């Protein structure tokens, strides 16, 4: 390793690497013989060849903001820190694309694209730390999926290093290229199990110059949920529709010291963002006025106020973490099941673990609810089981955007058939026969076969 990347980039002191062996939530803590920080694709290849020769497993790591325990070494793996791969090429204005190395943060990518008159379609609260490589590896979603899709939709091609050190490179940026298997697409959402992503060729989107944000309060969950389709139908500048509840708002305001947005108390809140080249304020106001069951509305008059309204929603992750390591379940429900799920899930959780607290928020337009549960021991899986079983019965997905990681690996068979899981295993075996790349995530271990149906 030292020969490959230089002494300064092999970290072994447990105090120095402490932040890299623990996940963002604090629920998953492991250990590592070394954090290795390659500075080029060739160095990544050299590190992986050494690990392959010595049969040492590796956990690729970007910003370590993942929320399913997938970015940390749970069984003494080497950590491959990709953040020194931080080159960002000039925007290709003719193509509307950019090539970014894996360690570039999403915030830096935004700034870079915006300075060139474009924008990048994926945005998330972890933007200052989450990386291009991590977001591709998890197929991150975020707050603009409704308009631009998840990360997979932005990726035109990737450069990646295989477990044996060979390099796959498809960064030519051809919008249409129907030439066999889509290997870049396969790596989107692969969670570090198939290859180490070193760069991505990304599609950019038109940059809206006017962004208007409103927070709409409801006293009835069904009215709040029904507003989502109404907004999608009536507002063609819509860019985000987010959901949270009064208990979450109270927690965020109390823990983060924010003033409350409304004088009264309500049941549910829908945060709406409209973005366009011309001012969408009138159109947004009309769309909100046409909604049924609205109890109160706050419209941000400027960028600062808009950021403040977003803080009520984005502050949930941080505020919940202040209560102790949460169990984070990130699920999608079919639109017709959402209302019943929201009503039922809290009762199910409390029945399984009395005293546990359930916090709900999410990306309403995608049917994506973040079910966070606090007051449960880190290794107590009852809550995960109860929530994911409920989701599967209602024909939802056990992972909307965070991935399977280590947290939900044993539940994969709830939503994937044995044939699908066997196909995952075959792909894994073809690309990583010695199981060296992120061995603790996504694919259930063989002895867990059929655990959940």
CA distances from 302 to 165, 295, 308, 334 (A): 50, 23, 10, 35
**Binding region for ligand FAD (CB under 6 A) out of 65-73, 285-293, 387-395, 407-415:** 65-73
Spell out the residues 6+ positions from residue 115 whose beta carbon is closer than 8 angstroms to its own.
none
Spell out the residues 6+ positions from residue 21 whose beta carbon is closer than 8 angstroms to its own.
29, 30, 31, 32, 72, 73, 79
Q: How many residues bind ligand MLT (CB under 6 A)?
A: 8
Q: Residues 50, 97, 101, 131: which binds ligand FAD (CB under 6 A)?
A: 131
CA distances from 35 to 31, 51, 73, 149 (A): 10, 13, 10, 33
Which residues between 31 and 70 bind ligand MLT (CB under 6 A)?
A: 67
CB 96 within 8 A of CB 51: no
User: Phi and psi at residue 226, in whole multiples of 5°?
Assistant: -65, -25
Q: Residues 59, 146, 241, 329: which binds ligand FAD (CB under 6 A)?
A: 59
Q: Residues 83, 144, 346, 370: which binds ligand MLT (CB under 6 A)?
A: 370
CB 444 within 8 A of CB 203: no
Q: Verify binding: residue 22, ligand FAD, rule CB under 6 A.
A: no
**Binding region for ligand MLT (CB under 6 A) out of 165-173, 179-187, 261-269, 311-319:** 311-319
Q: Indicate the residue among 77 and 314 with the shorter CB distance to ligand MLT.
A: 314
**Binding region for ligand FAD (CB under 6 A) out of 93-101, 128-136, 281-289, 354-362:** 128-136
Identify what 370 binds: ligand MLT, ligand FAD, none; CB under 5 to 8 Å per kind: ligand MLT
The Cα angle at residue 409 between residues 248 and 38, in degrees rounded to 5? 90
Q: Verify binding: residue 173, ligand FAD, rule CB under 6 A.
A: no
Q: Indicate the residue among 140 and 231 with the shorter CB distance to ligand MLT.
A: 140
Q: Indicate the residue among 97 and 374 with the shorter CB distance to ligand MLT.
A: 374
d(CA 252, CA 317): 9
Q: Indicate the residue among 159 and 366 with the shorter CB distance to ligand MLT.
A: 366
Listed in order, strand segments (DSSP E) in 246-324 are 268-276, 294-299
DSSP 163: T
d(CA 277, CA 302): 16
Binding site for ligand MLT (CB under 6 A): 67, 125, 314, 316-317, 328, 330, 370
Binding site for ligand FAD (CB under 6 A): 24, 59-67, 70-71, 82, 102, 124-126, 130-131, 133-135, 137-138, 140-142, 191-192, 196-197, 317, 401-402, 438, 441
């Amino acid at each position: 390793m030292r020969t490959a990347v230089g002494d300064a980039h092999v970290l072994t002191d447990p105090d120095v690497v402490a932040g890299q062996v623990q996940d963002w939530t604090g629920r998953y803590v492991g250990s590592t013989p070394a954090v290795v920080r390659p500075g080029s694709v060739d160095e990544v290849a050299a590190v992986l060849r050494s690990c392959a020769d010595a049969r040492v497993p590796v956990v690729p790591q970007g910003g370590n903001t993942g929320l399913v325990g997938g970015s940390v070494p749970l069984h003494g793996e080497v950590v491959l820190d990709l953040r020194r791969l931080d080159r960002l090429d000039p925007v290709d204005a003719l193509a509307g694309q950019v090539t970014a190395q894996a360690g570039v943060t999403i915030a830096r990518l935004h700034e870079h694209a915006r300075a060139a008159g474009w924008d990048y379609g994926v945005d998330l609260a972890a933007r200052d730390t989450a990386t291009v490589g991590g977001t591709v590896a998890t197929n991150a979603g975020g707050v603009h999926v409704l308009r631009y899709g998840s990360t997979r939709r932005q990726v035109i091609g990737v450069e990646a290093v295989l477990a044996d050190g060979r390099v796959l490179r498809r960064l030519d940026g051809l919008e249409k290229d129907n030439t066999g298997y889509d290997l870049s697409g396969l790596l989107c959402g692969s969670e570090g199990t198939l290859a180490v992503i070193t760069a991505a060729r990304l599609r950019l989107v038109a940059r809206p110059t006017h962004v208007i944000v409103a927070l709409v309060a409801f006293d009835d969950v069904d009215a709040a949920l029904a507003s989502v389709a109404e907004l999608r139908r009536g507002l063609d500048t819509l860019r985000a529709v987010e959901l949270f509840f009064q208990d979450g708002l109270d927690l965020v305001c109390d823990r983060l010291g924010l003033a409350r947005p409304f004088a009264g108390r309500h049941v549910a809140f829908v945060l709406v963002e409209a973005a366009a080249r011309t001012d969408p304020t009138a159109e947004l106001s009309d769309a909100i006025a046409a909604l049924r069951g609205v109890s109160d509305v706050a419209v941000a008059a400027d960028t600062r106020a808009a950021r403040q309204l977003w803080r009520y929603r984005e502050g949930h992750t941080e505020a919940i973490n202040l209560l102790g390591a949460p169990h984070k379940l990130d699920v999608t429900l079919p639109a017709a099941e959402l209302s019943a799920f929201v009503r039922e899930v809290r009762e199910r959780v409390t029945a399984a673990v009395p005293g546990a607290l359930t916090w709900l928020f999410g990306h309403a337009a995608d049917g994506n609810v973040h079910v966070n549960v606090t007051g449960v021991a880190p290794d107590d899986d009852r809550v995960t089981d109860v929530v994911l079983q409920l989701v599967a019965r209602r024909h939802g997905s056990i992972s909307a955007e965070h991935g399977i990681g280590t947290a939900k690996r044993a539940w994969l068979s709830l939503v994937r058939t044995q044939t699908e899981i066997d196909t995952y295993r075959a792909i894994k075996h073809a690309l990583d026969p010695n199981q060296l790349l992120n061995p603790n995530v996504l694919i259930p271990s063989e002895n867990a076969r059929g655990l959940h149906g």
